[in-house]
Amino acid sequence: MPVRLERWAGDGWRTFAAGHTDIDGRLRDWVPAEMWGPGGYRLVFDTAAHSGPDAFFPEVVVAFRVTDPTRHYHVPLLLSPYGYTTYRGS
């Protein structure tokens, strides 16, 4: 699934990275650790590319805040045809 990572730039969101999930539904090592900084981020999942043009949720946006960029941030999206959930994983 195509995914964009955006970062808040003070006057709007800017694309920070883009990629596609692997066969396990993960994006691994797509942003080098030294590029992370404190601030607001959001993941934009193109769920229509995964579920098709009639997807009930054609896009899912998950906004989150990084306070300590040295920590690992795992933000999974669990998707079903008519619902989704997310959480901060370990």
Domain spanning 2-86 has what CATH number? Answer: 2.60.40.180
Q: Where are the domains of the chain?
A: 2-86
pLDDT average, residue stretch 61-88? 93
pLDDT, mean of residues 15-40: 91
Residues contacting residue 15 through CB under 8 Å, at least 6 positions apart: 4, 5, 6
CA-nearest of 28, 5, 8, 31 to 18 is 5
Q: Return the pLDDT at 28.
A: 85
Tokens for 53, please give them. 């043009």
Q: How far apart are CA 89 and CA 47, in angstroms?
A: 20
